[in-house]
Amino acid sequence: MSGATIIDGKAIAAGLRADVAASVERLGREHGVMPGLAVVLVGDDPASHVYVRNKDRETRAAGMASFEIKVPATTTESELLAIITELNARDDVDGILVQLPLPPHIDSGRIIEAIDPAKDVDGFHPINVGRLASGQPALVPCTPLGCIILAKSVQANLTGLEAVVIGRSNIVGKPVAQLLLAENCTVTIAHSKSRGLPEIAAGADLLIAAVGRPELIRADWIKPGAIVIDVGINRVPGEGGKSKLVGDVHFEDARRVARAITPVPGGVGPMTIACLLRNTLTAAAARRGIALAI
């Protein structure tokens, strides 16, 4: 194989945002409902502020209401729980996202469990985790959902594929494995401590890399003709003293072997916010018992 298809996450995300915006417009016209997303940011981590600003802009652009709740790093766990309780009760808030990571004095598990599962647009609440694992309708984590949409843009039916997920986080590895099972893949979850990682990866028709190691995955880890979805976003030293972003996959290596591959940046990254908007729309409709074909 020479020359993989480069999966254009930016364009696919733009298409998804446009679909969401059209459904939001219809929800308003037919039901008088405007979905609302509340994002809670604790402290002043610069990267988190950038994410939250982007979420706010995209939420408004899709025609939804955006509420930003920014509180200092000194906020206590019980103060944050009180904010969640208030957002749970508000009818104009359909989605609640608490930006992670939280300061170390706050137990993020307790905060996530306090969110109304019907408003848990991150899909991190144990109720949604359990629903996904048992095949019931659930709010599903955004980055994993984005990975599946990108893989299906290459091959609409993933049934029977050998899928290998490298990474076992609650945010990406575990939920993406559940989604792949639901797509009828044979799923292997490997991670940084797995023995024989290159051989495991080389068995994959569909490889999802979410391990957080810059350019770990080289050409000989990839089965010729595989679909490669790279979730990694790693900042490494670049030319002229500047830094650059690379994935968990060595892109130039992999594109010579794979059938299709996502770039970093411009692959999975743009899909995350688009899927968050989709989840907010889904939550807004589901909370009101409105059937929506998104």
Min CB(146)–ligand GUN separation in Å: 10
Interface with ligand GUN, residue 145, by CB under 6 A = no
Q: Which two tokens stand for residue 191?
A: 């991670």
Interface with ligand GUN, residue 87, by CB under 6 A = no
By CB atoms closer than 10 A (0-12, 13-18, 19+), residue 97 is buried
Residue with smaller CB distance to ligand GUN, 95 or 263: 95
Residue 90 CA from chain centroid, whole number: 25
- Residue facing ligand GUN at closest CB distance: 100
3-state secondary structure 264-276: CCCCCHHHHHHHH
Residue with smaller CB distance to ligand GUN, 97 or 176: 97
Catalytic status, residue 99 = yes
Angle between helices 173-182 and 142-154 (to 10 degrees): 40
Binding mask 160-199 for ligand GUN (x = CB under 6 A): -----------x----------------------------
Residue with smaller CB distance to ligand GUN, 108 or 186: 108
Min CB(293)–ligand GUN separation in Å: 25
Interface with ligand GUN, residue 69, by CB under 6 A = no
Interface with ligand GUN, residue 122, by CB under 6 A = yes
Q: Which two tokens stand for residue 230?
A: 């790279």
Residue in 99, 178, 280, 282 binding ligand GUN, rule: CB under 6 A: 99
Contacts of 107 (CB under 8 A, 6+ apart): 77
In this chain, which stretch among 97-105, 202-210, 217-225, 230-238 interacts with ligand GUN, using CB under 6 A?
Answer: 97-105
HSE toward the beta carbon, residue 39, CA cutoff 13 A: 25
Set 116, 120, 122, 205: catalytic member: 122
CA angle 228, 233, 235 (to 5 degrees): 135
Give the whole-angstrom CA distance, residue 286 versus residue 294: 12
Neighbours of 100 (CB within 10 A): 14
Interface with ligand GUN, residue 138, by CB under 6 A = no
Min CB(97)–ligand GUN separation in Å: 5
Q: Which residues are catalytic?
A: 55, 99, 122
Interacting residues with ligand GUN (CB under 6 A): 97-100, 122, 142-143, 171
